[in-house]
Structure formats: C-alpha cells, structure tokens
Chain A
Amino acid sequence: MPQYFAIIGKKDNPIYEAEFTSQQGQQGQLQQGFQQNLKELNAFILHASLDIVEDLQWQVNPNAQHGKGGFLRSKNVTNIDNCYLGKVDHFYGLAITAYVTYGGMKLVMIHGGPPNGNTQIDDNMVKSFYQEVHELYVKTLMNPFYRLNEPIPSPAFDSRVRALARKYLNR
C-alpha cells in the first residue's frame, strides 16, 4: 500500500513530504504507487484534513479523567496519548492519519488501500512510525542552524524517514 506523508509547519506549509511505496515484488509495482491522476490530489486531500486535525488537537480524550487539583497544582494523571490522533479523515477509500508534536508540527499521512477496498490502519505500527519520525524531527530542530518551519532538505533525514516507512508501514 502506498502512503503520502508530510510534516506540516505552523503556517500550514509543508516542511517535508515523501511518498512511500512497497518494495515487494516486481509484478505489483504499478498498483503499489498512487494512481497518477490521484497523486496530484494528495496535497489537497491532506490540507483539507488539517482543519479536523486542528480541532482534534485541542480535544481532551473523552476517556480521560478530568483531574481537578488545587489551584495551580495540576494533578493531571491522564495518561492518554494525545500526540497520535489516529485516523482523522477518509477520502474515497483513502484513510488519513495524523500526529501532532509538542511544538505543534502536524505529521499527516494518506494511506492508499486496495482498489475499491477499505484501507485498514494498523494503529500500533503507524503510531510507532510517527513517534520515530517525531524524534528525528526533534534532532533536526536541535541543530542551531535549523530554523523552525523551514523545509528539511537533509538527505540523512530523508533516508531515515524512508527506512522507518519500510520498517513500520510497508513490510
């Protein structure tokens, strides 16, 4: 299954994008990428889902306990992971998942599925992928020469993200 992955900056600008396709087998190669005519839509589909992400990112998980402590002594015991937002949207059989970092970067992915089928998301795998890319992003950000919101042109970053995609998404 192909994926289109992007990191979206604070001004809704992509700072990194990649397309991942499965490596297995030669014969299915054609089906494994996004169809050419849909491919150009990816950026639009993804941007359309950003509004949903922006809403979800401020929602307290409904299962979470509202720990109301004393004033200025937060007893926030909720251990609910709210970085990974899971599947946030879908579009003609494509699924869209999202993840928000502590600094408000949005990691978003369009998951292609089998033709005319429903795309299944393996949340554990997808979440692990996002977490590891998040860490790579933090390493990028720590470099004093990198400025927030700038595109990430580093080949080292790119090759590591792609390795993570192979590890978690297209096995």
Chain B
Amino acid sequence: MRKIGLTFSVVFLILMNALGQNRTIIGKVVNEQGGGIPNASVIIKGSKAGTTTNSDGSFSISVPGSANSLVITSLNFTAQEVNISGKNEISVSMLPSNTVLNEVVVTAIGITRSAKSLGYSVATIKGDEITKARETNIVNSLAGKISGVRVTGQSGTVGSGSKVVIRGASSLTGSPQPLFVIDGLPLDNSSPGNSFGNGSVDYGNRVGDINSDDIETISVLKGAAATALYGSRAKNGAIVITTKKGSRKSVATVTVNSSVRADNVLKLPAFQNDYSNGNYGVYSLKNVNGWGPKISDVQDVTVKDFKGDDVTLKAFPDNVKNFYETGITAINSVSLAGGTENTDYRLSLGNTNQTGVVPASKLSRYNINLNAGRTFNDKLSVRTTINYIRTTSVGRPSQSANDPNVLTSATFFPRTLNIQKLKNNYVDPVTGAQISLSSDKTGNNPYWIINNNQNNNELDRMVGNMVFTYKPFTWLTISDNVGTDFYNEYRRTKTRKGTFGQLDGAFSISQIYNNNFNNDLIATIDKRNVIKDLDLKVIVGNNYFQNSFRTLSVSAQNLTVDGLYSLGNAATKNIDNFYQRSSLVGVFGDIGLSYKNYLFVNATGRNDWNSSLPVNNRTYFYPSVSSSFVFSELLKSKKILNFGKIRAGWANVGSGTDPYSLDFTYTPATTYFVQYGLSGTFPSAGGLLGFSGPGTLPNANLKPQNQRSIELGAELRFLDSRVQIEATYYKTKTTDQIIRIDVPLSTGYFSKSINAGSVSNKGIEIDLRLQPVKNLQGFSWNIDFNFNKNRQVVDEIGGGLQSYTLNSAYSGLVIKASPGQAFGIWGTDWLRDPNGNIVINQSTGLRQTKTDVRFGDIYPEWTMGINNTFTYKAFSISGLIDIRQGGILYSGTVSGLRTSGLAIETLSNRGKLFVDKGVYLDGSGKYVPNTTPVQSMQDYWSQNYQSSNTVANVFDASYVKLREVRLSYAIPLNKRNATFIKSAEVGLEARNLLIIKDFVPHIDPEVNVFGPNQIGEGVEFYNVPSTRSMGINLRLSF
C-alpha cells in the first residue's frame, strides 16, 4: 500500500508541474458519435510543438500567446484546423476521411501495414472497446465481437480461464488456442494443471494477467497467410496486442478508470420443493437428496436434522441461491503518460480486486506497466516495455469429481436444508469436529470446505522487451526485439484434518516456473518507386525462441498439528519434479510489392529449426503468398461504392511436437492408478521405487506436421462507408499430424507417435457494419453483425483407425475424432430395437444401454454477434447479443440433480405406477411394447439418468445471450471553472446479463471442464456456475 501511495504522489507532483505552464488549451477530440478519439495528433499550427489525445480523446496543450489555431489529425479521419483565439477549451468533432486508404493495422512480427494492402483478414479491436466494460480476463472481451473468433468461458471461479479458438480446431493434439503476442513478444497463455489432486481447479489462463487498460489495440490474425511469419507457433492464428505509449511532445496526462461491479450467479437450477431427503420415500439423514417423503405428508412428525435438532420438515426454496454470494469486482487503473521531443513514457498501475460468488473466494491483481521510448538521433532509437503482474487468489473451488473438496456437488442440498443454520453450524462447538450434512459422513459440509479447504495461488510475472531500431539509410531499418516473459506461480491446496475423505488432513504445494525468451532481428528495406509506380518492401529476419518450464510439487498427508500446513507436520510426503526445454530458430523473409497503391502482392518464407523433432527432420520451410486488389481506386465515381477490395491468400505452415517424444525411456513413477481418484504413491509398500516403460511407443522418425490454408475475401463499403461488408471464405487442411494413435493395448503400449491424420476446417466469415442513422441532430445508430460458419471435418486419422480419443472425461464419456465428422462427444446410448425404440429391461422396467456411440459435435455450426450502438450527443448505449447455434453439451450437474431427485422434473409420476415407453425382447425373439412399470421413480431417475448414461445428459449447446450492455455519458465539464479535469465519463456496464434462449436445463451452456489448452470442450462436470455482472464505471483524465 505504501508503494501505491508513493506512485500517486509522483503522479500528482508531475501533474502540478505540468499545470504550472502559461496558457493551456484543453479539449476533446470526438468522432461523429461523440466517442473520444485516442492518439489524435494535436499540433500548434506553424510549429512542431504538439501533443496527442489520450484514451478518451481528451488533450491538454500549452500554447504560446501568439498561437491562433491547432491542427488535429488522426488516422482514418479528415484533418481539421481549429481556431483557438480567445478559447481555453475546445471540442473537435472529426469526420471520417473520405477514403479508407490510410488505415493501418498491426500484422505479424509487429509489422504495421496499410489495411488495404492485406491479402488476408485481420480484425482490430481498439483499446477503447475493451476498457469500457472491462473484463477481468481480456480474452472474454473478444467474445461475440469478431467473426471466426470463438471464446468459451470456463467457469464462474474468480479469475477463471477462457478459451479462444479461431476458425476451428485444426489439430488432433496440442492446444487449439492461438499465439498471443504483446509488443512483438510471444505471450505465454498456459494453464498448467496440477501434479497432485483430482478436482479440476480453474486457475485461469495466463493471458488473463494482462491489464486491459494498457492495451492500445488488439489485432486478430485469423489465418496462416496472416501469421506465416510467426511460424509454427501461430498455426492456430495469432492475437497481437500492442500496448499504449505516451505521446511525444505532450504534457503529462493522468487517466483514471474505475469500475465497481456486482457479480451474481447467472443461472441456478430449478429445484423441486415438495420432497425431503431420504430413500424410497422414507426420511433419512444418510441421504443428501430429494428421494424422501413428501414434505406436506409428514407435518405431524418431527425428525432429526443435520445438527441433531428435532424439526418439522419444511422446504427452503432458496437455500442454494442463498449459498452463493454477490461477488464484488473493483477494477481501478491509473496511468501517467507524456513525452518530450525525443522521449515518451507511459506508466500505469492497475488493480483488480474481486470476491467470488462462492463464499470466501477472492482474487487480487496488480499490474504495473512501463512503456518508454527514446530517439537518440535520426538513426537510432530504443523502446522498452516492462510489465509486472502479481496475482493472488484464495478459495478457487475444486470442480469435477473424486475429490473431497469438490464444492458444487455439495451444494445439492436437500430441499429442507436451512442454509443459514448450516452456515452457523458447520463445526461442533464442543469437539471442533465438522458437522456433516449427512449422518454417514459421505459428503463434506460446504461451509467446512470453503472456510478450511482452499485452493490458493500466488503468481509473479514479468513480461518485458527492448527494441533497438537502427536506420543507417532512409530505406533500411534494422531492429532487434529482445524480450522475456517469465512467471513463478505458487499453488497450495489445503485439506484440513477432519475433512471426510481426508480425515488426517493433507495439503499439496506446487511451484511452477515458465520462461519464454524471444529475439527477433529484422532488417527492413523500403524502396519507393523502384520502377515507376512500383514500391518494394523487403523484410528479412532471424528469430530465436526458447521455452523452459519446470514444476516442483509436493503432496503431504497425515498432518499432526491441526491447521499447520508445513511439510514438517506431515507424516507422508510425495515429491515430484519436472523440467522441460524446447527451442526454435527461424529465418524468415517477406517481399511486398505495391503497384500504384491499389495492387499489392506479398510473399513470405520462413525456415524453422525445431528442437523437438529428430535431427534429420527438424528443419522445415514454409511459404505464403497473398494479394490485394483495391478495385475501387479504378472507379470513376465513388458515390455508391466508396471502397472495394478483393483479396486472396495461401499459406503453408509446419510445426513440431512436444519435447522429449523421440526416445524410448523409463519414467520414475510417482503414483499408481486406482479407480475413483484413489491412486497410490511411490515409494510403494516397503519404501520401494517403481519405474515404468513409456505408454507411448516413441518414433525417432517423426516429421513436422503440415498445414495448408487458403482464404479469399472481399471488403466493400457503400454510401460513404455507412454500409460496410467484409466477407471471407477460408479453408485449412492440417496433415501429417504428429499424433499418438491408440494401438491395441496388447502390444504393451497405449499409443504410438506417428505422422498421420488430416483435419480440415472450412468456413465463411461475414462482418457487416451499418449506420442507419448518422448524426441526425446528434443521434446516431450503428449496427455491427459478425457471423462465422465453420465446418470441421476429420478427413482421416491414419493407422487404419476409425476414431481417435482427444480427451477422456468422466463416466465413460470421451471426446473423439472420427473420419467424416467434426470432433464429437461419444458415450453410452440407450439400446434400441431396429425401429429405434428404447429397449427396456423386462425385470426392472429400466432402460438398457450400449456404449461407444457418437452424440454430436462439440463445436457450433455457426456463431453470430450483433452489436447495436445508439449515440445521442454525450450519451451512448450499446448492447451485444452473442448467438451460438449447434453443438452439444454434456452436463454432470444435470445428471446429479436428476439422479438425486432434486430437479423439478423429478416430481413427475412420483408415487404413481409408471411404465416407460419402450420395448423388450419377448421369448419368441420379437420386440414387444414394454409393460413393466419401474419399481419407483427414484429408480427411474437415479439409474436412467446416472452420469455414465451419456445420452440422458447431453443437450443442444445453442444459446442466445445478451453478452454486454453499456451506457455511457460524457459529463460536460465547465472548463472555465478551472478544474483540472480534462474529461470525465461515467458508464453503466453489464456483462453476461441474460441468457435469452438456451436448451440445457439448470446450467449455463457456456462452460467447460477441460482446461483452455485442451482440445476437448462441451463437457460440464460440477463447474462453478457462471456469473452475471453489473456495475458502474468512471473514467477521468487530468
């Protein structure tokens, strides 16, 4: 806290100093909708002095008395000259430049290019878009906004992870996520799991560490043609982040952005409230379910509750709702930016404090960012960026199953549970022991878990780079960008003595260290008019990238002193360590030709040497070529079509594999497998170690895998850009994949590494921007549509296989690839007769099953985002609707709610004779209609809907969500009153406000139990429910 105080005083000192100048003009540069235009250049006419606007478009400039006007310029807007005589305060409304020929975007290796010259699709999101309704994880702020980019939240845990996939998953192995790059440095986005423990804890994804207020722009490079220069790391696309800089020749500006939000559970299960806990209608404390007596039938008797009190049963309909709390998120950031003739600087401090909807869970994050540049002379300049991030979190819940600390299954309360009473009585005041929810102590009291058994982590991360730029000649630039991104994460999971399932207490700690080092040495030759009307740009470069990753994990059990989580206090300890290193050396080149500024051709080539591949196969070359033709430049009239471009790109990318996959080696075993999450540990009985041969038969002759892609697109703008259409067709095919195919276990191995398999993705992306109303007496209306339809097809698996397991989940459910289809969920289906009727077990009246059936795609058929923005003078309101159509989701929670008789639908037919619709095989071998009633509805639900009956628990994962709503108002400031505030804006913001339509009962369909770097999705297994957040935002600049 002392440090923060110090930063603030420095900020204010500089600020006061800045204000001590003579005549100061303050103002704001806005677009037609009234939104601030950041980074617009404000120059005093007739001089070189000037400044740039800050993130909300406001500026402050000190002018000599003689100055009469300012010249305001900004990319994509028509320059304006503004008279300042006699004014201290101005407002400048900028009109878009008539042509869109000057837009520039950031592309691979940080190369800025003019948008019109690109032969591939690049989407750009401005920092402004992200900072209005800020997400704690910036990945979420991409949701629904860019065609072809699909974001899936993982859970409602504080600091939860999000997964982003661009144009569909292309590989059978490895992470499907794109490469993230910040200021030219690859940004780690890992989500390492834990060595010990079963429950899946959502520790987030590492890109979530970045402070959204530090972001100037995000460029999304969707296809391989766009990312070819990054090489194999970007085969799933790239998301290139550029951070904010200070402006040269400007006074220090302080910007403050503060948000406070309240988070609630978005969707809670619909419970029955008629039946208590028990077994076949008889009340029993042993059961935590809804299969007891009808509450209204037992009002004449008293029974013991969990605490041992005699009570008359009564339903508490809101007991689960009241278990969850309102989480509070406060995001504050302050930045100081400015510059002199030769230097610029921006220093920012961000702080996020969040408490979760699960009681006692919280997260705190500090971000410090410095971005400073200096030009030494007209040949040499240097820029450095340093980010320091510290994240701490407490009480991230354990999800899934087979772990005593899994919380959400414990919130399946009997409907008669008084949650307030449970909260106040989770510990016996005399003995200090846990008071269980059930008499047989099979489940832990959720308040015991949240108050004692927490998953905590602490992360310290540095991301920094230096860019040296040397321009020996006007046409030659040599730059070297050297940087590192490393973090140290400490995780601790505590299980207190007295926890059922771990009565002696336990804890585990993991130390995770990851380091990326990257160096790019690039020379750029930029020659105008090489021959008449022909410009040439040549880039050659060398890249060196190295990753090292290590973990040290200790699992300790059998604690002596209660509450002391120190290794010396544990009778049993198991230790595991892991170290991994890989490196990549690349040489690349890029030749760009532009003819008369409307025809562009670009070719790239890159050769990589990858340490993970066999020495003879570790080098591979891949080319790309793309072209753009701005045909509107040849049109005489631009009245209707003011911009038109067609483009095409082709690329071929190779990639390596995991390190250490080539040699036949023996692994020292740390555990041996036992079902139900009960794996034992080595040394085994007698203190003996164990080694095991490999599960995967290695292959010393692996080749790089290969991805080819093409994309074709058109960009059209009509009626002075009031109608804009961008459409892209793409197709990628990834072959020679390095996969571990299942081999018959009788060979002694689970799998072997081979080059095989082919996966194709093809699809269309459409972005449509409309402006139905344009500045009609201050009123404007903008609509943005984005649409993506992607079809993934597994062409072949190889090795003669008809299916390939991508991820195994719980209860026999697997995510598999199979030829001719997209990745899908496989599991247990009902057994059916030739006419499709369900086959019933004649003796029980219950359904029969068969295994290994495919249920559907894990991916949607199409996704769409619709954003409407209404602006009236200083008011702006916008709403983003996010639509997903298709794909399926398996829900463990739904299974749990139904088998336990808690879901509202389990009320049907209770106590009545119920004959399930179906058939059975009679003695003569014919299928006849079933006549056997189920013995009870408890049997019907608990057996037919058990989690291993996949068919009973898969649903259409489509949804329509109101993703984001924001209302902002730029407060008109009476500048004459000499306040030093340059601009102020307040906003109301809401995220994940509403599920307008979905098809999964009881839970939000947007959830994923696998980590973000796993291929598998579409599976929910007792995840923390997702949240809705609403809040207020204030942005000020001085």
The finding on whether chains A and B are genuine partners in a shared complex, rather than unrelated, reads no
Contacts from A to B (Cβ < 8 Å): none
Contacts from B to A (Cβ < 8 Å): none
